């Protein structure tokens, strides 16, 4: 779902058909800034990109004439809507029906009094540029269209994988898709929640997008949803608490929560407030289900010490 960030901007992930009529949708992070009068999109949440990373596309709100449901226009694109801007139509895919309704409403509300004046001239100027995407070895070609004097940047060709984990074909993965390689023992377990979040590293303190999977016994995270082995498995019995991060003001990150274990505190950022609260609720519920009501990690450790006379007591 779109959410309002610290700067009072509406933000969230959508899939966009950057090359018109290509049918190829790519995952992008959108920011609707009514104060700046613009809609911009990035490869990922700018908080997770190197400082100074520019957006990959932008559109001035003043040139948006209408935003509407496009399910009938693109029957193969689920939860699709269209932005009409001058001579160009931008087709986007939301995550679900509610996400679609909220984005269409937010965009229409932001453009109610910014309909283009009649008689405005539209000029076209196409420029091809090959740039290095966020310092990686992947090359992306962009097309710049000048619509009513405003440059609109769109991708004409993309090689490789984007920073946000989009696959090479650019097709959107269903929400919560699970890794295909799960063993039989893991498949027999109840998967409670799965999806992408951003996690802070233990040593370098950098932020990387990881695929998280919560089951009855542990929270695991992978480099992507196609990896064979998890980067780490965090047993729920080692988790002392999970809560919205109190240090988020210091880190200047939205939707941040912390997972406190016996050995380390994990800082995890979700894509929206709903996702953050969903993860906190799911993890807390799994812990309660495993330990039973009212049994904290500290009380369980105390119980183990008392039940084993060989363990020296404080």
Q: Which two tokens stand for residue 284?
A: 């807390």
Is 270 found in the same domain as 186? yes
Nearest to 111 by CA among 37, 40, 58, 8: 37
Domain-embedded: residue 99: yes
Cβ(215)–Cβ(189) below 8 Å: yes
Instruction: Kindly report, residue by residue over 100-130, the tens digit of the pLDDT.
Output: 999 999 999 998 754 444 444 444 433 333 3
Domain-embedded: residue 171: no
Domain-embedded: residue 174: no
Domain-embedded: residue 298: no
DSSP state of 54: P
Domain-embedded: residue 262: yes
Rounded to an integer, what distance in angstroms lies between the CA atom of residue 111 and that of residue 170?
29
Higher-scoring residue by pLDDT: 274, 173: 274
Higher-scoring residue by pLDDT: 153, 70: 70
Rounded to an integer, what distance in angstroms lies between the CA atom of residue 148 and that of residue 126?
14
Rounded to an integer, what distance in angstroms lies between the CA atom of residue 195 and that of residue 200?
16
Q: Which residues constitute the domain of residue 222?
A: 181-291
Among residues 111, 140, 159, the one where a domain terminates is: 111
Question: What pTM did the predictor assign?
Answer: 0.56
Domain-embedded: residue 155: no
Among residues 81, 111, 141, the one where a domain terminates is: 111
Is 191 found in the same domain as 89? no
CA-to-CA separations, 107 to 6, 63, 88, in angstroms, rounded: 19, 12, 16
DSSP state of 290: H
Instruction: Kindly report, residue by residue over 305-314, the tens digit of the pLDDT.
Output: 544 544 444 4
Rounded to an integer, what distance in angstroms lies between the CA atom of residue 163 and that of residue 148?
31
Instruction: Kindly report, residue by residue over 257-276, the tens digit of the pLDDT.
Output: 999 998 899 999 998 888 99
Nearest to 21 by CA among 86, 95, 76: 76
Q: What is the 3-state secondary structure (H, E, C) of 128-186?
A: EEEEEHHHCCCEEEEEEEEECCEEEEEEEEECCCCCCCCCCCCCCCCCCCCCCCCCHHH
Among residues 111, 133, 157, the one where a domain terminates is: 111
Cβ(177)–Cβ(212) below 8 Å: no
Is 105 found in the same domain as 188? no
Domain-embedded: residue 95: yes
Higher-scoring residue by pLDDT: 161, 263: 263
Instruction: Kindly report, residue by residue over 188-244, the tens digit of the pLDDT.
Output: 457 899 999 999 888 878 888 999 999 989 999 999 888 889 999 999 999 999 999
Is 185 found in the same domain as 286? yes
Domain-embedded: residue 131: no
Is 202 found in the same domain as 286? yes
Q: Backbone phi, then psi, for 26, in 5-degree steps?
A: -120, 140
Whether pLDDT at 155 is above 50: yes
Count structural domains, the chain: 2
Residue 220: CATH number of its domain? 2.30.29.30
Cβ(128)–Cβ(106) below 8 Å: no
Instruction: Kindly report, residue by residue over 29-67, the tens digit of the pLDDT.
Output: 999 999 999 999 999 999 888 888 899 999 999 889 899
Rounded to an integer, what distance in angstroms lies between the CA atom of residue 209 and that of residue 205?
13
Q: Which two tokens stand for residue 235?
A: 């047993």
């Amino acid at each position: 779902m779109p959410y309002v960030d610290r700067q009072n901007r509406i933000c969230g992930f959508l899939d966009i058909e950057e090359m018109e009529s290509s049918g190829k949708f790519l995952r992008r992070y959108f920011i609707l800034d009514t104060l700046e009068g613009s809609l911009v999109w990035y490869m990922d949440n700018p908080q997770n990109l190197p400082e100074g990373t520019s957006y990959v596309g932008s559109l001035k709100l003043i040139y948006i004439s209408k935003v509407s449901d496009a399910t009938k226009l693109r029957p193969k694109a689920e939860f699709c809507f269209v932005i009409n801007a001058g001579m160009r139509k931008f087709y986007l895919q939301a995550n679900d029906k509610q996400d679609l309704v909220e984005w269409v409403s937010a965009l229409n509300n932001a453009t109610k009094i910014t309909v283009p004046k009649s008689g405005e001239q539209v000029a076209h100027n196409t420029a091809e540029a090959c740039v290095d995407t966020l310092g990686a070895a992947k090359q992306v070609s962009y097309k710049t269209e000048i619509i009513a004097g405003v440059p609109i940047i769109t991708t004409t060709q993309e090689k490789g994988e984007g920073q946000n984990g989009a696959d090479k074909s650019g097709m959107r993965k269903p929400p919560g898709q699970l890794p295909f390689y799960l063993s039989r023992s893991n498949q027999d377990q109840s998967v409670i929640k799965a999806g992408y979040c951003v996690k802070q590293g233990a040593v370098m303190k950098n932020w990387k997008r990881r695929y998280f999977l919560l089951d009855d016994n542990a929270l695991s995270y992978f480099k992507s949803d196609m990896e064979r082995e998890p980067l780490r498995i965090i047993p729920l019995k080692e988790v002392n608490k999970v809560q919205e991060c109190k240090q988020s003001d210091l880190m200047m990150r939205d939707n941040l929560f912390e997972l406190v274990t016996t050995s380390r505190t994990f800082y995890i950022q979700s894509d929206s407030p709903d996702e953050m609260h969903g993860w906190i609720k799911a993890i807390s519920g799994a812990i309660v289900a495993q330990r039973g009501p009212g049994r904290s990690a500290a009380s369980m450790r105390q119980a183990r010490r008392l039940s084993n006379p060989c363990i020296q007591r404080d």
